[in-house]
Structure 1
Amino acid sequence: MGWLRRQRYLLDFILASLLRRKGKNLGLLLVYSLIVFMLASVMLFTHALKREMGLVLQASPEIILQRIEAGRHALIPEDYLQKIGRLRGVTARKGRLWGYFYDPAVRANYTLMVAPERRLADSEVIIGSAIARTRGIGPGDYLTFRAHDGEAYSFRVRELLASDTELFSADLVLMSERAFRISQGVTEGWYTDIVLSVSNPLELEKIAEKLTLRLPDTRPILREEILRTYDAIFSWRQGILFVLLLGAILAFVIFAWDKASGLSAEERREIGILKAVGWETGDVLRMKFWEGAILSLMAFLLGYLLAYLHVFHASASLFEPVLKGWAVLYPAFRLTPVIDGLQVATLFFFSVFPYVVATIIPIWQVSVTDPDAVMR
């Protein structure tokens, strides 16, 4: 009971000490929280985007086969489906038609794709929500494309793609095969690429190797390679933001170190008085340690909570242009809240631990000095 009572008295003294210098501590808390907020926002948003893209790409084909001509992606003939032959492990294969269309009205590229399962009429299209917002159109309105030969074609918007798919369908236009071939100038017997479904993921690399041997002018792209590419892109964008925030982080480090290592005359006098009335060096160190710990923990929790609300309830409005990457057609979507324990632990270690440790050394130097000398 005596030990518990002593700890309670120590806690009361620590809180009173923090309140005595509330102006200085409040300023440090706000700056500290702001730094944690910015770092946590970038980490949360990037991790959530990576997870969202991973879930989306899990439904994509295991292998995409592209024909290469002069080192660039070219149309692939339909007879390549027969040339592939019967490959063990391949459960399905089909040719795809897709391409890009630049709309000078909004200065943005649309992704055009044939979707046979939608059973679209030649005069109908289904468009992404971002296109509808940018062009100010909806179901029943008309969208006009200028074809490869300069002829203008108008398509009636049958419906909009679901808003929960906007992360990857923001700039998407679905149309019939005949409408795509006429507007894009792709003749019968040619496809943009070929996709293959594989039953056993362990056989992907072997099947890709066989495809390269049978069709030397093609390049197989595995789904895992696409996932790694997106992961690298988002990590690179996250790195850019961290570099941009580096100046603010360094300024905070200097500010925190100066606050922690440069004790004021009042704080030195306080430690001297405590030593004079019987406090031991361990008590002084424990008190100052908990002062720094309480302040840094409050800043971490406040900053992380604000970052969570910013990312998952305000769509990370401060950082979305950098991390989403669309030039004009920004997708509007709400990310599924996800928290990575390792990420939280890393942020906690690099934001809380250094400050708490920085408070110990100067306090120890003062606490082992003669109280009379300290107070003078």
Structure 2
Amino acid sequence: MSPWIERQAAFIDHAVRAMGRRRAHQIGLWLVYTLLVFLLASVMLFAHALRHEARQLLRDAPELVVQRMEGGRHALLSADHLERLRGIRGVGQLFPRLWGYHYDPISRANYTLMTPHDDPPPPGRMIIGAGIARVRGLAVGDLFSLKGGDGHSRSLTVQGTFSSASELISSDLILMNEADLRPLLGIPEGWYTDLALTVAQPREVGKVAEKVLQRLPEARPILRAELLRTYHALFDWREGILLTLLSVVLLAFVILVWDKASGLGAEERREIGILKAIGWQTGEVLAMKLWEGTILSLSAFLVGYVLAYVHIFVAPAPLLAAMLKGWAVLYPAFVLPPRVDGLQVLTLFFFTVFPFIAAMMIPAWKAAVTDPDAVMR
């Protein structure tokens, strides 16, 4: 073993023994530090994982959705509007969509009713989201009654439920046949909620949107990229609110760092004075204090981050789900696939570990360059 490694091993051994002599203080410090890293890492991991899931879910969405505006509000589109948009160069497919919302007074939740353009359920049957199945206690084969806008209730048979993997977007979703959906929403034949367009070249989406506006001035084109930016902005906003709510913990950490930087305790100063008196050099004292700060901060960071990882991707996120998922009643129950951003980890490491180590080294350096007799007195 090289002399340098032996010296560092001796410094680590002395640092561990010194921390053991101040066990109560060090444990309290370590717990506060770990809690801070756990909370910050939980928020960052959850928001990053949700952003990634949003990108994955919108990957198969149509590149362009066209809505008609009337009086500044979303209005229905007719078959005539559909014909006016046919033949636009660059458009792969153009298909009308039929969907709407339904308020359920029993669960006090809004359901999204929709007819898929391909492979819809047969008349009299529906496919429901897992959140609806949980709230209403429904299973395959059960009857589910929905009251339409005309005041009449219609009972449909549950044909199936969506898998938990899609619950982020399907928790409150009901798919049904067009023949069942039109009476429920009060949409007459030949009218649709909006139009979906697929574009062969993603770089031409903006140009296609311009052509849509030329043919249908009252239209509002919605690009898939805009939806993704909206999701990101929403998650950024909610992440910011959570971080603001954690400002008390951040303030505690700032006070902790400030306390460390303001000076050493009498016992620590006396220990440094004794080390200097028996022949330790200033560099050796600083090396020992550096190892002490590194052991405490690095262990707290690793434990806090691992706990945050388990909290988000195993638990899953019971402390943050209600805030970041955003459902009012039907909270989706799903496990996010583990997603870790290396830059995010480095940023959190830089802003939590380095300030703490620097706060420990400054007063230690001041004590180490002072006359040992003065320090001990």
Instruction: Give the Cα separation in 2 of the matches to 1:352 and 1:2.
Output: 28
- Per-residue deviation, 1:251: 1.5
**1:101-112 pair list within 5 angstroms:** 101-112=102-113
Could you say what secondary structure the match of 1:369 adopts? coil
Q: Give 1:172's aligned residue.
A: 173
**1:25-44 pair list within 5 angstroms:** 25-44=26-45
C-alpha contact (below 8 Å) 1:78/1:189 kept by paired residues: yes
C-alpha contact (below 8 Å) 2:277/2:372 kept by paired residues: yes
Matching of residue 160 in structure 1 with residue 161 in structure 2: yes
When structure 1 is superposed on structure 2, of 205-214 and 258-267 the one drifting more is 258-267
- Per-residue deviation, 1:5: 2.2
Q: Give 1:358's aligned residue.
A: 359
Instruction: Give the Cα separation in 2 of the matches to 1:19 and 1:44.
Output: 33
When structure 1 is superposed on structure 2, of 258-267 and 154-163 the one drifting more is 258-267
Q: Give 2:290's aligned residue.
A: 289
- Per-residue deviation, 1:286: 1.4
Instruction: Give the Cα separation in 2 of the matches to 1:218 and 1:174.
Output: 26
Could you say what secondary structure the match of 2:118 adopts? helix
Identity %: 55
C-alpha contact (below 8 Å) 2:95/2:117 kept by paired residues: no
- Per-residue deviation, 1:260: 4.5
C-alpha contact (below 8 Å) 2:76/2:191 kept by paired residues: yes
- Per-residue deviation, 1:294: 1.2
Instruction: Give the Cα separation in 2 of the matches to 1:116 and 1:5.
Output: 71
Q: Give 1:195's aligned residue.
A: 196
Matching of residue 320 in structure 1 with residue 321 in structure 2: yes
When structure 1 is superposed on structure 2, of 332-341 and 247-256 the one drifting more is 247-256
- Residues 289-338 of structure 1 deviation map (CA, whole Å, 9 limit, x = unaligned): 12111110000000000000000000100011000000100101010001
TM normalised by structure 1 equals: 0.98
- Per-residue deviation, 1:164: 1.1
Instruction: Give the Cα separation in 2 of the matches to 1:165 and 1:89.
Output: 30
- Residues 200-250 of structure 1 deviation map (CA, whole Å, 9 limit, x = unaligned): 000010111111111100010000000000000001000000000001210
- Per-residue deviation, 1:3: 2.6
- Per-residue deviation, 1:21: 1.3
Instruction: Give the Cα separation in 2 of the matches to 1:42 and 1:230.
Output: 16
**1:29-68 pair list within 5 angstroms:** 29-68=30-69
Instruction: Give the Cα separation in 1 of the matches to 2:14 and 2:122.
Output: 77
Extract unaligned runs of 5+ from structure 2: none
**1:1-376 pair list within 5 angstroms:** 1-376=2-377
C-alpha contact (below 8 Å) 1:116/1:177 kept by paired residues: no
Could you say what secondary structure the match of 1:143 adopts? strand
C-alpha contact (below 8 Å) 1:261/1:359 kept by paired residues: no
- Per-residue deviation, 1:116: 4.3
C-alpha contact (below 8 Å) 1:111/1:171 kept by paired residues: yes
- Per-residue deviation, 1:193: 0.2
Count of residues in correspondence between the two structures: 376
Could you say what secondary structure the match of 2:189 adopts? coil
Could you say what secondary structure the match of 2:111 adopts? strand
Could you say what secondary structure the match of 1:79 adopts? helix
Taking a change above 3 Å as real, the CA distance of residues 210 and 121 of structure 1, as seen in their structure-2 partners, is: same
